[in-house]
Structures are given as structure tokens and as C-alpha cells.
Chain A
């Protein structure tokens, strides 16, 4: 059961334009979401997070939007830079129970930013 889904395996964007990465979830108990960026041969790096009490969180070029009714979140990168080329994962920690704190990851989206 894929509780966090990233339906686009890849995204290609021109430098300077906006990159929009999407993520859907099915578990309505999720109330916090994180985005991680991963370069080859490295571990995932935390990028930005959002709590379900907000619908938007911004950090520099990165903005995450949350639509709870649609169970959908998106990561916007503006402007996109070639160094942003990486795999992006959305993730959600369990809201409670015995697996508190574990992260459920989406399958990832490969972002390529062309100069």
C-alpha cells in the first residue's frame, strides 16, 4: 500500500524557470510532511517541511504547498538552477502508534534542470 505517491518519475526544466514537484498521500492521519533532496551516492538531505496547520511554507527559492482536502502537496523551486538537479522525495512521519517517527517516502522524482 503506497501511502505516499509521487506519480511523476522525472521532470525536466529550463534554468530560471519554475520546477513543480507533486506528491499525493492517502493516509488522512498524516499531519506533517517533508521534502528531501538526494544526489547520487549521497544520503537524502532535508529540504523543507510543512505542518498540516499550514497550507504554505517558504524557504528561499523553495515553497511547499499543502492541500489537505485533496491530500496533495507540491514543492515549487523558483528559479530553478542546474545544481537543483537531483532526486526529490516527499515523506511523511507516522502520526502515532508503534511506528511513531518512521518516515514513509514517495518513490521520488528525478529533476533535471538544463542550463
Chain B
């Protein structure tokens, strides 16, 4: 158990819909990262938040957005869903956002299926 929790574990929805994925980082971790793993793309970085502020953006679509709340949990919002958005979405957390490297601890993921 990494200490990072993600809900829900599975999500099945239809094209055009909007969903929200939730992540609670490990206690004390200020940085939250979101990754997408699809069958043909491997693990792709989406976005990072550090202590409530957006720190870095990767290949995140404009239809997707995220935020980190004062209690440090984070939500990833996916809207106007398309079939190609079906993937595993992982959240990870680490102690620091800058200045030195710390390993990222990953949650169990949310499997999103868009029908």
C-alpha cells in the first residue's frame, strides 16, 4: 500500500459525458501528479500540482483539467469524453516539487471506460 488513494476504482460512462477522478496523496506529500496509461501509449504525464498550485503540464488535453485543494487532495476532471479517453489514470505523490529528487508513490489507479 503506497498510501496514495484514488477513487473510484472503475468508471464506465458514455461519450460526451464528464467525470471527476479523485486522489488523496500520502500524508505529508505536497506534490500530486496525474498520469494516463493507455494500451498503446505507456505512462504519460498529464499535470503536476504542488501545494495547491499548478507546477507543470504535460500532454494534457484542453478537455481535461485538474486542481489541488487546500487539504492537498486533487481532482482530475475529464469532459466531452471520447472513446480514446478510455485508459488507466494514475495519481502519484511525492514530498517535494522542486529541489532534489524524490520517488513518486503511485495510487492504484482509476480505470475509465468510455462507451
Which positions in A face B, CB cutoff 8 Å?
32, 34, 36, 41-46, 49, 51, 89, 91, 93-94, 98-108
Contacts and interface: CB of A to CB of B under 8 A. Distances in A.
A100 B103 contact: no
Contacts of A101: 31, 33, 48, 55-56, 94, 96-98
A105 B31 contact: no
Interface residues of B, number: 28
A101 B104 CA distance: 9
Contacts of B104: 46, 103
A95 to B, nearest CB: 10
B33 A107 contact: no
A101 B97 CA distance: 6
B2 A102 contact: no
A34 B103 contact: yes
Contact of B2 (A34, A43, A99): A43
